[in-house]
Amino acid sequence: MKRYVSLEEISDGKLYKAKDLARADCLGCKGCSQCCRGMGESIVLDPLDVFRLTTGLGRDLQSMLSEGSVEWNVVDGLVLPNLKMTGAEEKCSFLDENGRCAVHDFRPGICRLFPLGRYYGEQEFWYILQTGECNHSRAKIQIGKWLDTPDLPRYEAFVWEWHCLLTQARKLQEENQEDEFSKNLNLFLLKTFYMKNYRRDDFYGQFRERISVYREIVPPEEDSLQRY
Ligand code: SF4
Ligand code: SF4
């Protein structure tokens, strides 16, 4: 989700890489769960998140949509799924009665990242430490460790490729609003990366298979994949 604010407004002003230390470790959260409530539509799910949740829970995305833990929303012009906040407390439906995440092992990437965020440049992305988000005492931790995500190089390559793909899809839609293909582009993207069930085996291999299908119809822009 794009935010049109300066780095200084929302962060400590520094750009971090995964090897860097940042004061992100909230030391177990101790049942705080503040960032699992009232988050609106901001916990947007990428294909890896859907892979994690659907294989972890043994359910498909359609059943999660039907039960109300996930919903569709328009994010910067594209329809994408996000975790749905529910009830009077506006809380994530995966938050248990003890204020703990019931899907901790397969929680989405944004939940792993928080209170860090990402800042995307032309050729690469960085991590930022959001200053207005988590007010609890925190310790320094290496960002790669905080992300709790195996095979970080492949993960970061996926994050970048997905960002480039969404950026291009948004641009194509803006430029060709009358074109039939552009109108159907979002639907094609959803079918290719979200609605078709993932197998339990290696996500990145499956993502590559789907990218090949997608790229037969929507070739990449030049230079978009240079950095990773
Ligand atoms: S707001 Fe901070 S301390 Fe509270 S649950 Fe989120 S990350 Fe943990
Ligand atoms: S998936 Fe877990 S960590 Fe993420 S918002 Fe829901 S309860 Fe919180």
pLDDT above 70 covers what percent of the chain?
Answer: 95
Segment 25-81, tens digit of pLDDT: 998 888 789 999 999 999 999 999 999 999 999 999 999 999 999 999 999 889 999
Spacing, Cα 148 to ligand 2 middle (Å) = 14
Name the residue at shortest CA distance from atom 1 of ligand 2: 107
By CB atoms closer than 10 A (0-12, 13-18, 19+), residue 66 is exposed
Segment 76-117, tens digit of pLDDT: 889 999 999 999 999 999 999 999 999 999 999 999 999 999
**Whether residue 136 has its Cβ less than 6 Å from ligand 1:** yes
Does the pLDDT of residue 11 top 60, yes or no? yes
Question: Can you give the pLDDT at residue 220?
Answer: 87
Spacing, Cα 227 to ligand 1 middle (Å) = 32
The number of the ligand nearest the C-alpha atom of 95 reads 2
Write down the pTM of the prediction. 0.93
Name the residue at shortest CA distance from atom 5 of ligand 2: 36
Which atom of ligand 1 is nearest to 33's Cα?
5
The number of the ligand nearest the C-alpha atom of 137 reads 1
Higher pLDDT, 5 or 227: 5
**Whether residue 34 has its Cβ less than 6 Å from ligand 1:** yes
Question: Can you give the pLDDT at residue 2?
Answer: 67
Helix (H, G, I), strand (E, B) or coil at 49: helix
Three-state SS sequence of 112-141:
HHCCEEEEECCCCEEEEEECCCCCCCCEEE
Spacing, Cα 54 to ligand 2 middle (Å) = 15
Q: Which of 163, 142, 218 is nearest to 47 (CA)?
A: 163
Question: Can you give the pLDDT at residue 225?
Answer: 43
Spacing, Cα 32 to ligand 1 middle (Å) = 6
Which among 27, 30, 32 is the best mutation to test ligand 1's pocket, defined by most ligand atoms within 8 Å of the CB? 32
Residue 78 backbone dihedrals phi, psi, to 5 degrees: -115, 140
Name the residue at shortest CA distance from atom 6 of ligand 1: 35
Count the neighbouring beta carbons within 10 Å of the beta carbon of residue 137: 9
Question: Can you give the pLDDT at residue 135?
Answer: 82
Segment 137-193, tens digit of pLDDT: 889 999 999 999 999 999 999 999 999 999 999 999 888 877 787 779 999 999 999
